[in-house]
Amino acid sequence: MSGWLKVVGLGPGGAAQLTPEAAEALSAATDLVGYHTYLDRVSRRDGQRRHGSDNREEIDRARHALALAADGARVTVVSSGDPGVFAMASSVFEAVEAGPVAWRALDIQVVPGITAMLAAAARLGAPLGHDFCAISLSDNLKPWPLVLRRLEAAAKAGFVTALYNPTSKARPWQLDAAFDALRGWLPATIPVMFATAVGRADERIDTVDLAGARAALADMRTLVIVGSDATRRIARPGAADWIYSRRYVEEDRA
Amino acid sequence: MSGWLKVVGLGPGGAAQLTPEAAEALSAATDLVGYHTYLDRVSRRDGQRRHGSDNREEIDRARHALALAADGARVTVVSSGDPGVFAMASSVFEAVEAGPVAWRALDIQVVPGITAMLAAAARLGAPLGHDFCAISLSDNLKPWPLVLRRLEAAAKAGFVTALYNPTSKARPWQLDAAFDALRGWLPATIPVMFATAVGRADERIDTVDLAGARAALADMRTLVIVGSDATRRIARPGAADWIYSRRYVEEDRA
Q: What is the pLDDT of residues B166-187, one digit of tens each?
A: 999 999 999 999 999 999 999 9
Which pLDDT does position B246 carry in this prediction?
96
Cβ-proximal residues to B216 (8 Å cutoff; 6+ apart), any chain? none
Distance CA A219, CA A55 (A): 16
What are the pLDDT digits (tens) for A135-158? 999 999 999 999 999 999 999 999
Mean pLDDT by 10 residues, chain B (254 residues): 91 93 97 95 93 88 98 97 97 98 97 98 98 96 96 98 96 97 98 95 95 97 97 94 92 58
Query: In what order do the strands lie in the sheet containing B74-79?
Result: B49-53, B31-35, B74-79, B4-9, B108-111
Residues of chain A with CATH 3.40.1010.10: 4-114
**Model confidence, pTM:** 0.97
Across the interface, do A126 and B92 touch by the CB < 8 Å criterion? yes
Give the SS3 label for residue B135: strand
Instruction: State the Cα–Cα distance between residues A229 and A130, nearest whole angstrom.
Output: 10
Q: Higher model confidence: residue A1 or residue A227?
A: A227
**Average pLDDT estimate for A160-167:** 97
Task: Note whether ipTM > 0.95 here.
Answer: yes
pLDDT tens digits, one per residue of A43-83: 999 999 999 998 778 999 999 999 999 999 999 999 999 99
Q: pLDDT tens, A105-141?
A: 999 999 999 999 999 999 999 999 999 999 999 999 9
Q: Which of helix, strand or coil describes residue A164?
A: strand
Strand pairing of B222-226 and B160-164?
antiparallel
Q: What is the pLDDT of residue A252?
A: 59
B91/A234 Cβ within 8 A: no
Pairing assessment for the beta strands A132-136 and B132-136 based on DSSP bridges? antiparallel
- Gap from A216 CA to chain B (nearest CA, Å): 24
- Residue percentage of chain B with pLDDT more than 70: 98
Mean pLDDT computed over every residue of chain A: 95
Q: Which fold has domain A117-245?
A: 3.30.950
All residues of chain A having their beta carbon less than 8 Å from the beta carbon of residue B122 are 83-84, 89, 109-112
Section A5-23 average pLDDT: 95
Taking residues A84-102, report their average pLDDT.
Answer: 97
Q: Does B235 reach chain A within 8 Å, measured CB to CB?
A: yes
Grade residue A237 by pLDDT with cuts at 50, 70 and 90: confident
- Return the residue in B131, B164, B225, B241 with the most chain A beta carbons within 10 A, the one to mutate for interface testing: B131
Least confident piece of the model among A11-15, A28-32, B90-94, B205-209 = A11-15
Residue type, A149: R
Residue type, B37: T
Could you give the residue range(s) of every CATH 3.30.950.10 domain in chain A?
117-245
Q: Domain B4-114, what fold?
A: Cobalt-precorrin-4 Transmethylase; domain 1 (3.40.1010)
Q: Is residue B130 within 8 angstroms of chain A, CB to CB? A: yes
Q: Using pLDDT thresholds of 50, 70 and 90, give the confidence band for residue A217.
A: very high
Give the pLDDT of residue B56: 73
Residues of B in contact with A128 (CB under 8 A): 84-85, 134
Mind listing the pLDDT tens digit for each residue in B112-159?
Answer: 999 999 999 999 999 999 999 999 999 999 999 999 999 999 999 999
pLDDT score, position B13: 80
Q: How many CB atoms lie within 10 A of CB A185?
A: 14
Report the pLDDT value the prediction gives residue B254, as an integer from 0 to 100: 52
Does the pLDDT of residue A254 top 60, yes or no? no
